[in-house]
Amino acid sequence: MSSRKRGQNEDSIYKDGDRWRGAVSLGYGPDGKRRRKKVSGKTRAEVVEKIRKIKELMAKGLPVPDDKLSVGDFLDRWLANLPGHVADSTLDDYEDTVRLHLKPGLGRHKLTGLTVAQVDALWQAKREKGYSANSIRIMRAVLRKALGQAEREGLVARNVAALSMPPRIRTEEGRTLTVDQARMLLEEVAEHRMGVLVLLSLVFGLRRGEALGLMWSGFDPDARTLRVTHAVKRIKNRDPDASRKTKLVINELKTRKSRRTLSLTPELVDALKTHRSAHNKERLQAGEEWTEHGLIFPTTFGNPSDPDTFSHLFSKLAKKAGIGHWHPHELRHSGASLMLAQGTPLHVVSDVLGHASIAITKDVYGHLMEGDKRAATEAISSALLGQRKRVAPRVAPKDEEETG
């Protein structure tokens, strides 16, 4: 039998067996029903203190933490509220990270009880399973973003993901085509319908999706410019009635830095004009089966080209050129390397690549500038020391020697 006793100015507090329990009225919810927050403790004083803290939060207009909400349930709710706020491809990445890594590792913990140590333990477990530092960085970034929302809502007092130990990223130098290899490749693809795409990807270090998303509306032969505004991506198909799980989309690039205008040489303008003539012939041959998207490098029926299909095609073309297996992303790395080798300033390379900041370009390609740094040191050393005349050592007069 439980005993009930309420103190002055207190909500209901009573003893239930060997535990003390209490409840605080939180007002009424959207459904018109009264909401209450229940607490328990070993002593009456413990329950009184918990109720006091709840009232303190309410007085400040802050939400009362839900002690029963698990990390997994919160992550599901967070994802459900993201559509319309992030790109579909970004949402796909978040969902995969939550489903494959965060929920299995942390989902059963209570959101309010999640600790830095538990999060660090997950990163350590991922390292032991062989996940790269960059993969763990992505996991941490997604959890940090989700818990940032929980912190804003007052569900947690601090963002334990932000406080967790970040992985140490070692930038891999990656492969780059030599000038001879690049020429062999371009010679092989010169007559291919995707040959100009390979050329532009190499010259400007375009991302695969960006190259496939180039639009004729962005090509100005008179001004000799080409605007990069869109990208082709494969994302999950969220239509429950769709027959396929994924679909190709043409998305506008998100950031100002990624939307950029490239300067073309006369040779590149001519290459694009020649490609446009071949493109128009394909469109006439396709007739009514052609679907117009305005793309420079679509399929033979005008639809967006699948990035993965292009990767397989590019590998075959590279092997046929006698340079072995290569991935389109290595064209980007090669383009940046060739620009820097030709003395292009780092900030210009950063703009051409569409990096968010010059710091990113420096982190990824800084190792290619060792020769420039050495040349700079030699130049200033020569200016300061190389032309300096030798001065004969001063000989002290005899009287100075005697008094010294």
Closest to 332 measured CA to CA, from 201, 189, 180, 184: 201
* Greater pLDDT, 52 or 306: 306
User: What pairing do the DSSP bridges indicate for beta strands 19-28 and 34-41?
Assistant: antiparallel
Q: Are residues 247 and 344 in the same domain?
A: yes
Q: Which residues have CB under 8 Å from 237's CB, separation 6+?
A: 244, 245, 246, 247
C-alpha to C-alpha distance for 134 and 168, rounded to whole angstroms: 8
Residue 396 has pLDDT above 90, yes or no: no
Answer whether residue 305 is part of any domain: yes
Cβ distance 188 to 324 under 8 Å?
A: no
Closest to 321 measured CA to CA, from 180, 174, 176: 180
Element holding 19 (H helix, E strand): strand 19-28
Q: Are residues 153 and 273 in the same domain?
A: no
Q: Are residues 149 and 226 in the same domain?
A: no
Q: What is the CATH number of the domain that holds 304?
A: 1.10.443.10
Single residue among 59, 79, 98 that ends a domain in this structure: 59
Q: Are residues 348 and 254 in the same domain?
A: yes
Q: Mean pLDDT in the chain?
A: 85
**Confidence at residue 9, expressed as pLDDT on a 0 to 100 scale:** 41
Q: Are residues 20 and 138 in the same domain?
A: no
pLDDT tens digits for range 18-33: 899 888 887 776 677 7
Query: From start to end of 185-320, where are the E strands?
Result: 219-220, 225-228, 230-236, 246-252, 260-263
Domain that holds residue 105: 71-163
Q: Are residues 359 and 232 in the same domain?
A: yes
* Greater pLDDT, 382 or 194: 194
DSSP 100: I
Number of domains the chain is built from: 3
Of the spans 36-40, 154-158, 308-312, which averages the highest pLDDT?
Answer: 308-312
Beta bridge partners of 21: 14, 40
Confidence of residue 106 (pLDDT cuts 50, 70, 90): very high
Residue 370 has pLDDT above 90, yes or no: no
Cβ distance 59 to 27 under 8 Å?
A: no
C-alpha to C-alpha distance for 134 and 140, rounded to whole angstroms: 10
C-alpha to C-alpha distance for 113 and 69, rounded to whole angstroms: 10
| Lowest pLDDT segment from 92-101, 155-164, 195-204, 351-360 | 351-360
Judged by DSSP in three states, 38 sits in: strand
Average pLDDT over residues 233-241: 85
Closest to 208 measured CA to CA, from 353, 335, 361, 329: 329
**Confidence at residue 120, expressed as pLDDT on a 0 to 100 scale:** 96
**Confidence at residue 375, expressed as pLDDT on a 0 to 100 scale:** 58
Q: Are residues 322 and 344 in the same domain?
A: yes
Terminal-residue alpha carbon distance, the chain: 106
pLDDT tens digits for range 121-176: 999 999 999 998 889 999 999 999 999 999 888 788 889 999 999 888 665 556 88
Answer whether residue 385 is part of any domain: no
Q: Are residues 92 and 209 in the same domain?
A: no
Q: Are residues 158 and 26 in the same domain?
A: no
Q: Are residues 52 and 76 in the same domain?
A: no
Answer whether residue 25 is part of any domain: yes
Using a pLDDT cut of 90, give the percent of the chain over it. Answer: 52
Q: Are residues 223 and 338 in the same domain?
A: yes
